[in-house]
Amino acid sequence: MSDDPYKVLGVQKTATQAEIKKAYRALAKKLHPDLHPGDSGKMAEFQAASAANDLLSDPEKRKRFDDGEIDASGQERQERQFYHQYANQNAGRRYDAGPDMGGFDDQSDLFSELFRQRQRSGNASGQEFHARGQDLRYHLDVDFIDAALGAKRSVTMPDGKGIEISVPPGIADGQTLRLRGKGAPGHGQGPSGDAFVTVSVRPHPVFVREGDNIEVELPITFDEAVLGAKIEVPTISGAVSMTIPKGVSSGHRLRLKGKGITKGKGQSGDQFVRLKIVLPDKIDKQLEELATRWRDQISFDPREDLRRKT
Amino acid sequence: MSFDERMVVARVERLNLRELRIWVREGWVRPAHSEAGPIFDELDIARIRLLCDLKKDMSLPTDALPVVLTLIDNLHQTRRELCALTEALEEQPEGVRRTVITKFRAIHSNVNEASGDQ
């Protein structure tokens, strides 16, 4: 394959912009990878043609190329995900009914076609039309706490029907719920389609989820860190009281067992509380005096280890 | 990843909001529904890019788009089915596999010869 964009498009160096456009259009029709899924040769040719078109269809870039300021490869295109790369996967079934959206998803596959042919040749009266109703897709935004603890939500489907969705506890962002028979009604004796509800979980300002565990950063005062304390900590199921041991530093992690996410029955995750010592916005005289006195009397070097290792 | 209408228009430079809404209304693109409006995923976006190519790069007339889409959708359904069939075949014992492949080649080459004679 040639590097010269003019050769790739098969035009003269003196070609007009209209001629370039026409040449690319012809190549795109011939080579578009979504019209030839699985043909990597055509895909490479199409990408070369697209790159050449990107360069030459822009008079500014074309001039810079002609003047030798940029080379053809300087115009790397972003790697594009083509439709057929998705449509080959299971999610591609979404568009099997074709673009008319008749509302019926004829679930015939290779084999139902085979059996139908058999039936037809055996008995000619199989004229009734039965088809399964179409699947509907719905997107649901759920608050962090509702996703963690589970919740019931009523939503209005695109056809105006209201349905109640039980969001199971511990559902993760991007998970899809399948509601059998909640899609569009079927035709004849065909069953209704399904509703697929993809859940987005809104982030929480305080709680962060790690698997079934919950992480929280908890600000404490310096006296609580020095003397230890019993303080209230928020969890997804309400505030609980927690004992902070004497002499903890920022970054210290404490575990609240079983205060994470509980999926159905069985084991629960934990909540991890990361301590953060916070000083008041304004340091008053007393605190200053206390710190001065402490510095003058005590020789503690928290960076000793750091120095030794570097 | 999920995108609302505005994010889709921002991602696909060649597309404007009016076109996107028409395509959704025609059923050429079928996003998920939410209370805040349609929500698109990566597959929908790839399909929108394909529609842009068909309409803009290849300047297909709008009337022809559903015809082409129907063919493409049929093609993908068939390819996925063939894939599944191949997978099912791969799990069969060696003997069954060989019988099916031999038979397939026999039928296939017969069909080719027959059409070649015309």
In whole angstroms, how large is the CA radius of gyration of chain B?
A: 21
What is the pTM assigned to this prediction? Answer: 0.62
Is B118 a residue whose pLDDT tops 50?
Answer: no
Asked if A270 contacts A262 with a C-beta cutoff of 8 angstroms, the reply is no
CATH of domain A5-81: 1.10.287.110
Q: What is the pLDDT of residue A253?
A: 95
Query: Rounded CA gap, A227 and A246, in Å?
Result: 5
Residue type, A173: D
Domain A208-297 in CATH: superfamily?
Urease metallochaperone UreE, N-terminal domain (2.60.260.20)
Domain with CATH 1.10.287.110 in chain A: 5-81
Most B-contacting residue of A9, A39, A95, A108 (CB-CB within 10 A), to test interface:
A95
What percentage of residues in chain A have a pLDDT greater than 90?
Answer: 31
pLDDT per position as a tens digit, A117-134: 655 555 444 556 777 888
Asked if B52 contacts B8 with a C-beta cutoff of 8 angstroms, the reply is no
Query: Rounded CA gap, B27 and B35, in Å?
Result: 19
Phi, psi of A76 (to 5 degrees): -55, 130
Q: Give the residue from A176, A179, A177, A144 showing the smallest Cα distance to A162.
A: A179
First-to-last CA distance in chain A?
A: 54
Phi, psi of A48 (to 5 degrees): -65, -40
Number of Cβ within a 10 Å radius of residue A149? 15
H helix count then E strand count, chain A: 10, 13
Q: What is the pLDDT of residue A124?
A: 46
CA A198 to chain centre: 11
What is the chain A residue with the closest CA to B60?
Answer: A29
CATH of domain B5-91: 1.10.1660.10
Q: Give the residue from B47, B53, B56, B58 showing the smallest Cα distance to B23.
A: B47
With contacts defined as CB-CB under 8 Å, which chain A residues touch B40?
A: none
State whether residue A99 sits within 8 Å of chain B by CB.
yes
CATH of domain A133-201: 2.60.260.20
Return the top range by mean pLDDT from A14-23, A57-66, A248-257.
Answer: A248-257
Stretch A223-241: mean pLDDT, rounded? 94
Query: In chain B, positions 33-52, which contact chain A (CB-CB < 8 Å)?
Result: 33-36, 39, 41-43, 46-47, 49-50
Domain with CATH 2.60.260.20 in chain A: 133-201, 208-297
Put simply, the answer to whether B34 touches A138 (Cβ < 8 Å) is: yes
A63 burial (CB, 10 Å; 0-12 / 13-18 / 19+) is exposed
Q: What is the pLDDT of residue A108?
A: 61
Put simply, the answer to whether B30 touches A32 (Cβ < 8 Å) is: no
What is the chain B residue with the closest CA to A83?
Answer: B46
Which residue matches tokens 């209005």?
A: A156
